[in-house]
């Protein structure tokens, strides 16, 4: 099946002329001419951007998601390609409405008319994994129904298998392969894709994010209607708003765009540092803006999580970056064990400074995080920095945030916007307030544990004595086994002597 899928990918790429992107350089002009003659039957009359978008749609969810990420990077792509790939954010060709109705009736086990008062068979949005329809519940509540694409799990499974095969080749054929941990990265990607195929899990993600931002003036999250949710269907509050990519329409509604951009930065750091639970698929198709200028989050299939260790590491690095304390950044990497112990901290600090110093005191429009990440990658290869698969989603989200920021407010100073929030967060993590909060959080556990302290202490002391007692018993057993062996040896020797004496007696 992997071979068949690979052949299909090659066939689609050639059918839509994607070889143009690989053979566009003058150095390979001869190969390009040869390919054009061999594949003379192709119709390449459509613009290259349209052909690229159609090829990604044809190849399926993983390729569509790749195109979605690329669509936010207008600093890296020509305008025509970025504009066309933006259509992948919420305008993937829908699947047949008859299949939608059949899926829902099978899921609910009854006719759809008994579940909803109204159901619009025409999808309002269609994405790579699922599509959304408007509906009205029996009590008159306006809802949105998300339905999983049929057969999507098999398609994703085949593509992930190819990614694993590619990861193995990267490890074996590339000098940096093992350091980049490609198989772990693919495994992390597969885990999140698998989660995305279970709409009950997505519903729980939405519910958690809504709880985290309850009453927030910056972000709205739809309410989940649990009685209607299954693994193949998710029903939630219908949200009204303007897609965040329509900046001109937002201006016409008197939305403060600069304020909206600042909100985006604060929402990101709140999710990452306060909650350790963040929306990891923040392309423009998943974000609306309501009439009050608040973000409206949609599509919760891919959410990232961070441990307390990850959060503290990130906070220290972000803050050190904003303070231009590159030695602290280098030391944090060394303390985390991400660089070899013998690394010279001054050389590592100098490499980080060379990457980061040129991007300060500049508006967002003059900064390309894509290029910064490329230079950081080059530095990390030099110092053998270990890639952390659990942070790949965060890096992807950072690139999405940058893409959104460029669309909203190219003059945004990301560093000045983020620094006060980070400093406030760090103050809450250290000092007396942090100690008081931790004491308050741990108090119920202490109250429960305090009466048990004498018994726990006695058990600990008993366990401490157990190794010594066990060693004595083991020594006694060893002595007994040695004595037994010596006894049997003596008996054996006596039997041999007795046999020899008998032999001599018979011989005489």
Note the pLDDT tens digit of each residue in 103-159.
999 999 999 999 999 999 999 988 778 899 999 999 999 999 999 988 787 777 777
Run of H or E including 499: helix 453-507
Domain tally, the chain = 2
Residue 232 resides in a domain: no
Closest CA to 101 of 68, 138, 81, 131: 131
Which residues have a Cβ under 8 Å from the Cβ of 332 and sit 6 or more positions away? 313, 316, 317, 320
Residue 370 resides in a domain: yes
- Which of 89, 109, 140 is a domain's end point? 89
Run of H or E including 235: strand 233-237
pLDDT value for 332:
78
- Which of 442, 460, 477 is a domain's end point? 442
CB 68 within 8 A of CB 103: no
Residue 231 resides in a domain: no
Burial 166-191 (b: 16+ CB within 10 A, else e): ebeebbeeeeebeebbbbebbebbbe
Helix boundaries (H) for 181-289: 182-196, 199-212, 247-252, 257-269
pLDDT value for 409:
82
pLDDT digits (tens, 9 = 90+) for 248-274: 999 999 999 989 988 888 898 889 888
What letter would DSSP give residue 91?
Answer: B
Alpha carbon separation from 92 to 155, 156, 207, 293 (Å, rounded): 16, 16, 26, 27
Map residue 207 onto helix, strand or coil: helix
Exposure of 474 in the CB half-sphere (CA atoms within 13 A) = 6
Residue 207 resides in a domain: no
Write down the pTM of the prediction.
0.68
What letter would DSSP give residue 222?
Answer: P
pLDDT value for 442:
66
Alpha carbon separation from 62 to 1, 107, 158 (Å, rounded): 17, 26, 10
Burial 440-476 (b: 16+ CB within 10 A, else e): eeeeeeeeeeeeeeeeeeeeeeeeeeeeeeeeeeeee
CA dist 127 and 286 (Å) reads 10
What letter would DSSP give residue 226?
Answer: G
CA dist 424 and 307 (Å) reads 20
Write out the two tokens for 450.
């305090």
CA-CA-CA-CA dihedral for 328, 331, 335, 337, to nearest 10: 130
346 is a catalytic site residue: no
Residue 338 resides in a domain: yes
Exposure of 77 in the CB half-sphere (CA atoms within 13 A) = 21
Which residues have a Cβ under 8 Å from the Cβ of 169 and sit 6 or more positions away? none
Beta bridge partners of 296: 220, 288
- Which of 420, 442, 464 is a domain's end point? 442
CB neighbours of residue 53 within 10 Å:
25
Map residue 387 onto helix, strand or coil: coil
Write out the two tokens for 194.
């698998």
Burial 104-119 (b: 16+ CB within 10 A, else e): beebeeeebeebbeeb
pLDDT value for 502:
45
Closest CA to 348 of 379, 313, 314, 386: 379
Q: Which of 75, 154, 198, 281 is catalytic?
A: 281
CB 115 within 8 A of CB 228: yes
Residue 137 resides in a domain: no
Residue 484 resides in a domain: no
Residue 98 resides in a domain: no
Which parts of the chain sit beneath pLDDT 70?
Answer: 1-6, 19, 21-41, 68-77, 89-91, 166, 169-170, 173-181, 185, 188-189, 192, 361-365, 367-378, 380-381, 386-392, 414-415, 429-439, 441-443, 445-450, 452-453, 455-508
CA dist 321 and 337 (Å) reads 19
Range(s) of the domain holding residue 324: 241-442
CA dist 85 and 197 (Å) reads 23
pLDDT value for 500:
47
pLDDT value for 368:
62
CA dist 182 and 168 (Å) reads 8
């Amino acid at each position: 099946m992997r071979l068949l899928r690979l052949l299909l990918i090659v066939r689609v790429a050639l059918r839509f002329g994607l070889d143009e992107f690989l053979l566009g350089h003058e150095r390979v002009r001869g190969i390009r001419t040869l390919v054009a003659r061999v594949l003379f039957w192709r119709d390449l009359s459509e613009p290259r951007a349209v052909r690229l978008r159609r090829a990604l749609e044809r190849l399926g969810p993983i390729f569509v998601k790749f195109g979605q990420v690329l669509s936010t990077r207008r600093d890296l792509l020509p305008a025509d390609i970025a504009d066309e790939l933006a259509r992948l954010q919420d305008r993937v060709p829908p699947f047949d409405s008859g299949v939608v109705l059949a899926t829902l009736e099978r899921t609910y086990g009854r006719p759809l008319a008994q579940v909803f008062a109204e159901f619009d068979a025409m999808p309002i949005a269609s994405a790579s994994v699922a599509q959304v329809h408007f509906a009205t519940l029996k009590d008159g509540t306006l809802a949105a129904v998300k339905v999983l694409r049929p057969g999507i799990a098999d398609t994703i499974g085949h593509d992930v298998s190819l990614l694993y095969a590619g990861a193995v080749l990267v490890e074996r054929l590339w000098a940096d392969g093992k350091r980049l941990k490609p198989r772990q990265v693919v495994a992390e990607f597969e885990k999140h894709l698998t989660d995305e195929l279970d709409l009950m899990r997505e519903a729980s993600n939405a519910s958690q994010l809504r709880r985290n931002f309850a009453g927030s003036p910056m972000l709205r999250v739809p309410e989940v209607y649990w009685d209607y949710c299954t693994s193949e269907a998710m029903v939630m509050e219908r949200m009204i708003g303007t897609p965040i990519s329509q900046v001109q329409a937002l201006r016409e509604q008197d939305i403060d765009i600069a304020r909206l951009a600042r909100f985006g930065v604060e929402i990101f750091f709140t999710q990452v540092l306060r909650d350790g639970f963040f929306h990891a698929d923040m392309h423009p198709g998943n974000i609306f803006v309501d009439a009050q200028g608040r973000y409206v989050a949609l599509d919760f299939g891919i959410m990232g999580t961070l441990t307390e260790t990850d959060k503290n590491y990130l906070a220290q690095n972000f803050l050190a970056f904003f303070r231009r304390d590159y030695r602290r950044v280098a030391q944090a990497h060394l303390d985390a064990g991400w660089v070899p112990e013998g690394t010279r901290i001054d050389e590592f600090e100098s490499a980080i400074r060379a990457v980061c110093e040129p991007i300060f005191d500049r508006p967002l429009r003059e900064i390309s995080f894509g290029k910064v990440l490329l230079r950081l990658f080059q530095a990390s290869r030099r110092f053998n920095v270990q890639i952390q698969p659990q942070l790949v989603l965060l890096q992807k989200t950072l690139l999405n945030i940058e893409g959104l920021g460029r669309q909203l407010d190219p003059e945004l100073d990301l560093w000045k916007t983020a620094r006060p929030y980070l400093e406030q967060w760090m103050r809450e993590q250290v000092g007396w307030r942090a100690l008081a909060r931790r004491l308050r959080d741990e108090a119920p556990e202490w109250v429960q544990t305090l009466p048990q302290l004498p018994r726990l202490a006695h058990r600990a002391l008993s366990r401490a004595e157990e190794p010594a007692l066990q060693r004595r018993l083991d020594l006694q057993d060893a002595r007994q086994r040695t004595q037994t062996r010596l006894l049997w040896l003596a008996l054996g020797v006596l039997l041999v002597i007795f046999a020899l004496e008998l032999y001599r007696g018979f011989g005489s």
